[in-house]
Structure 1
Amino acid sequence: MSDLASKKIFAGPRIRRLRRELGLSQSQMASELGFSTSYLNLVERNQRPVSAQFLLRLAEVYDVELSAFAGTDEARAFADLSEILADPMFKGLDLSRGEMQDMADAAPQAVEAFSLLYKSFQQAKQSATELSSQVVERGGAEPDAIFPVDEVRDFIHDRKNYFPELDEAAEALHEELGLHRDDAFMVLAGRLDEEHGIRVRIMPYEVMPETLRHFDLHRRQLLISEMLDASTRVFQLALQIAMLEYRPVVLRIGDSHSWRTEEARRLVRISLFNYIAGALLMPYSRFLNDAKALKYDIEHMSRRYGASFEQVCHRLTTLQRPGERGVPFFFIRLDKAGNVSKRFSAGRFHFSRFGGTCPLWRVHDTFSTPGKIDTQIIEMPDNTRYFSVARTVSRQGARYGDPDQQLAIGLGCDIAYARELIYARGHDLENPEATPVGPNCRLCERPACPQRANPPLTKSLVLDERSRGISAYRFSQE
């Protein structure tokens, strides 16, 4: 509650939607909450911020989560709408930022429907382009993929990367096994042997040069490559147990959604099995209590749980149990070329759907200082500020001379939560110096950015051969 009470919140459309869902008039709701009808009227029209007392009373009377009024859905809807309307095809509409914000506040679900239509349009357009290319090149066509990775990301994001039934099941098994860091491999290998008749074998590189884990169903063997480090070997055993013991609940969750492709259905199952594996090794309540006690020191948590830096970061994004919540983190993983391979968000930070990230975000700079934690306060174009922690993780080459794989991990949260993090030491959180960033260059309208790689889709280029500015692109401000 302290985070919501510490800043002004205008939640009129959300409260109005709640009142209508409950079938109440303004006077009825005001009476039940113990406030005047005039106050509720002003709140619903966003002419008055919501007081802490009002929020507490709302949660008490109608049994709603306070986080529902933090603006997560509206923030995401506004980001989606801004990105979609940046497409040149909408240039003639001339919608102001205020109008888009009003749409997002009043009807975030309608914006989501609009977003689905736009995605379908983009997919159809791409399919038509690929089909034309295939007809020209080969005289025939093949079935088109419908972005299963994006579909699964949306599914996980909509649930704030939290699946309570999986956490509860994993927590119970953790207690049953008496799982601890020092003997985790032996305990999990014993579970596979005793309960499933599966033997775990560590295989030499020569036998499995291109495979890290393989389950031999016929011989009842789980084969693990010797090239995996200790924490990853343990994770692979936990993953195998998840696939053997929790398939029914994973299928139930996955099949509750209408998937557009079979690939997406299979991919979400793999994601959920990985979720269980992480929850088994880092059980919810104990992990959250340790995280709070250690002020979210990721490297300390990594040593305590025998997990990798990335595994701990990923787990931190899932701590959204009602009444027992952690900091709502967002997570991103990218390579040196800026390709995003993972992204999750339990908070309101919204990543660009159709592009990379801003080069001014120092998650990119970590490649020049491998293994070193880099912190930064960033500010998005809508003036929201976030605290960011970034570091590289490395996957060593299989043998001498083979290239290592380096990835950058970014973990962040709304600046209101930064005081809970050990990494905020030395930062002035009352008067922060924030780096202005954007979703990506195509969607950012900040002028004179020295890192700009592309002009914004929403603006017209200003071309002047007599002059060269800081940015390679100048554009109108209209």
Structure 2
Amino acid sequence: MLNEGRPKRRRFAGAELRALRHRLALGQAAMARRLGLSVSYLSQIESDDRPVTAAVAAALTRAFPLDWQPVVEGASARAEAFHAALADPLFSELPPMSSRLAEQQPGLADRFVALHAAWRAAEAQRQIADEAIASGVEGAGRLPWEEVRDWFHDAGNYVGPLDEAAEALAEGIGGPHVSTEALIGALAQGGVTVANSEDDGPLRHFDPATGQLLLNAGQPAATRRFLLAHQLVSLRFAAMIADVTNDAMLSEEARRLLGIGLANYAAGALLMPYAAYATSAREVRHDIDRLRQRFGVSFEQACHRLSTLQKPGARGLPFFFCRVDMAGNITKRHSATRLQFARFGGACPLWIVHEAVAIPDRILVQLAETPDGVRYLSMAKGLVKPSGSYERMARRYAVALGCEATHASAFVYADGLDLGGAATPIGISCRLCPREDCDQRAFPPADRPIAIDPDVRDVVPYRVL
């Protein structure tokens, strides 16, 4: 063969590695520690005095799974998509496939990726139908808030025009860390005055006739800042929000709710501008407490914003995010991972978020595994929102944020977990979970028969067949 005996071409990537380090705001010493290299060796790689060896490339991929694009001969978007599809546990029993297959058979690789995407979409729709039937709500129309929830899900929880406009507005009023004074000043330029209301009044009340904005005096500073940001973007981006809602194929009530949701989205993007927030999130390995302090937002707001970092070409870590109330109802949800939340009823009782509801202000972490064999890292924290009055109950709930275990190196909450050890077996919901030996079952699976033995009583009074 012509290539036989030819030495493998050495790969140099000094410029790419240096750009990555600058983008993550890391010094050479910090980068070297992450990679397990000496500073001098790293400096030689960045100067192209040394090549990127296979060991160094592997270290880069482990340390920076989202940011480092491996320098691989013949790498392409097709090959990446092909191997991402092959990573699905559905194909776990297949023998390893050559990295060159996508290049040797591009048509086959494209069809494989398209078929896998279509299969996942069909499975998601089947799951929705099965869950609706099992919950006894088949044929029922969606409620307006469900329409809006599904709209954001279909949009990938990212609204580009609003996000970019909010980022530009933040820059114009002193961003990326927009102060309360800057928000009040920007509102004043539009003729809006800000005052406090009684503690038992609404969180926010705006009178368009007088231009007065009343904020509940009993709310935390982060909540008040968010309400100010909401009012500002509602006025500045009114036409843009109206264009989006008018184009949405939703009921009239759902369109009005979507307008509020879009203003909330833009408020989050104003307080946590995309580029600055994404850079900070990578720098602190998605440490929520450090992010909320840096940007002056609440714990929930910091978590929620991470789930919206889905800009094409600059995506953040693929997270799932949800908020659960004391009764186990999921009141907010989005997933950029393979994990999808139950649409009807509550989440799996074995999931750590339920324990977090009962233990406010304490972060709990969990390694969990779904029936398809995918492992997830979850962080959950119980929160209490004060009402400002003894006569009005505080709101109690928990938020959960997580990612697939393959991204552990970029998720600070994975530190200390044994990723190869036992994982908590969770499901989507009891009616859809195929597990036969779960002691926490509330209902049998909808598609499996059960056996009942009057002479045998276990924790669950039936066996799943």
Work out which of the residue numbers 339, 347, 368 in structure 1 matches 2:358. 368
TM-score (norm 1): 0.72
Q: What's the secondary structure of 1:325's corresponding residue?
A: coil
In structure 1, distance between residues paired with 2:441 and 2:304: 30
Residue matched to 2:171:
175
State whether residues 160 and 347 of structure 1, in contact with CA within 8 Å, keep that contact through their aligned partners in structure 2: no
State whether residues 75 and 348 of structure 1, in contact with CA within 8 Å, keep that contact through their aligned partners in structure 2: no
Work out which of the residue numbers 210, 213, 219 in structure 2 matches 1:219. 210
State whether residues 448 and 470 of structure 1, in contact with CA within 8 Å, keep that contact through their aligned partners in structure 2: no
Residue matched to 1:342:
332
State whether residues 174 and 281 of structure 1, in contact with CA within 8 Å, keep that contact through their aligned partners in structure 2: yes
In structure 2, distance between residues paired with 1:34 and 1:280: 35
Residue matched to 2:430:
441
C-alpha spacing 1:87/1:339, structure 2 compared with 1 (3 Å): closer
Work out which of the residue numbers 434, 439, 446 in structure 2 matches 1:450. 439
Q: Does 1:460 align with 2:460?
A: no
State whether residues 176 and 273 of structure 2, in contact with CA within 8 Å, keep that contact through their aligned partners in structure 1: no
Shift in Å, 1:33: 10
Residue matched to 1:23:
none
Residue matched to 2:252:
262
Work out which of the residue numbers 172, 183, 187 in structure 2 matches 1:188. 183
Q: What's the secondary structure of 1:343's corresponding residue?
A: strand
Shift in Å, 1:462: 1.6
What CA deviation, in whole Å up to 9, does each residue of 1:318-362 have, x standing for no partner?
111222221111111011110111111222221112221000001
C-alpha spacing 1:279/1:55, structure 2 compared with 1 (3 Å): farther
Q: Does 1:241 align with 2:232?
A: yes
State whether residues 219 and 387 of structure 2, in contact with CA within 8 Å, keep that contact through their aligned partners in structure 1: no
Residue matched to 2:193:
199
- Could you list the runs of 5+ residues in structure 2 that have no partner in the other structure? 1-56, 63-75, 80-85
Matches within 5 A, 1:113-124: 122-123=139-140
Q: What's the secondary structure of 2:398's corresponding residue?
A: strand
Residue matched to 1:309:
299
Matches within 5 A, 1:7-86: 74-75=119-120, 77-85=122-130
Work out which of the residue numbers 271, 280, 285 in structure 2 matches 1:281. 271
In structure 1, distance between residues paired with 2:165 and 2:102: 33
State whether residues 352 and 366 of structure 2, in contact with CA within 8 Å, keep that contact through their aligned partners in structure 1: yes
In structure 2, distance between residues paired with 1:420 and 1:316: 13
Shift in Å, 1:436: 0.7
In structure 2, distance between residues paired with 1:33 and 1:313: 30
Residue matched to 2:161:
165
Residue matched to 2:383:
393
Matches within 5 A, 1:424-439: 424-429=414-419, 431-439=420-428
Shift in Å, 1:211: 0.9
Residue matched to 1:271:
261
Q: What's the secondary structure of 2:205's corresponding residue?
A: strand
Residue matched to 1:252:
243
TM-score (norm 2): 0.74
Higher mean alpha-carbon deviation, 275-284 vs 449-458, is at 449-458
Shift in Å, 1:123: 1.3
C-alpha spacing 1:159/1:72, structure 2 compared with 1 (3 Å): farther
C-alpha spacing 1:54/1:288, structure 2 compared with 1 (3 Å): farther
Work out which of the residue numbers 212, 222, 230 in structure 2 matches 1:231. 222
State whether residues 333 and 343 of structure 1, in contact with CA within 8 Å, keep that contact through their aligned partners in structure 2: yes
Shift in Å, 1:166: 1.3
What CA deviation, in whole Å up to 9, does each residue of 1:59-113 have, x standing for no partner?
9x9xx9xxx8896774454244245346779xxxxxxxxxxxxxxxxxxxxxxxx
What CA deviation, in whole Å up to 9, does each residue of 1:261-299 have, x standing for no partner?
111111111111111000000000011110100010001
Alignment-mate amino acid for residue 129 of structure 2: I
Higher mean alpha-carbon deviation, 466-475 vs 237-246, is at 466-475
Q: What's the secondary structure of 2:357's corresponding residue?
A: helix
Q: How many residues align?
A: 380
Alignment-mate amino acid for residue 164 of structure 2: E
In structure 2, distance between residues paired with 1:58 and 1:223: 63
Q: For the aligned residues, what is the CA RMSD?
A: 3.4
State whether residues 331 and 343 of structure 1, in contact with CA within 8 Å, keep that contact through their aligned partners in structure 2: yes
Q: What's the secondary structure of 1:326's corresponding residue?
A: coil
Alignment-mate amino acid for residue 225 of structure 2: V
C-alpha spacing 1:49/1:217, structure 2 compared with 1 (3 Å): farther
Shift in Å, 1:397: 3.3
Alignment-mate amino acid for residue 284 of structure 1: Y
Higher mean alpha-carbon deviation, 47-56 vs 147-156, is at 47-56
C-alpha spacing 1:368/1:473, structure 2 compared with 1 (3 Å): same
In structure 2, distance between residues paired with 1:218 and 1:151: 32
In structure 1, distance between residues paired with 2:253 and 2:100: 48
In structure 1, distance between residues paired with 2:379 and 2:103: 32
Higher mean alpha-carbon deviation, 294-303 vs 369-378, is at 369-378
Give aligned-pair identity as a percent.
Answer: 39
Residue matched to 1:296:
286
In structure 2, distance between residues paired with 1:76 and 1:432: 31
Residue matched to 2:27:
none
In structure 2, distance between residues paired with 1:305 and 1:398: 24
In structure 1, distance between residues paired with 2:198 and 2:233: 25
C-alpha spacing 1:427/1:404, structure 2 compared with 1 (3 Å): same
What CA deviation, in whole Å up to 9, does each residue of 1:217-246 have, x standing for no partner?
111101111011101111111101111111
In structure 1, distance between residues paired with 2:224 and 2:78: 57
Shift in Å, 1:180: 6.0
C-alpha spacing 1:271/1:258, structure 2 compared with 1 (3 Å): same
Could you say which structure has the higher helix fraction? 1
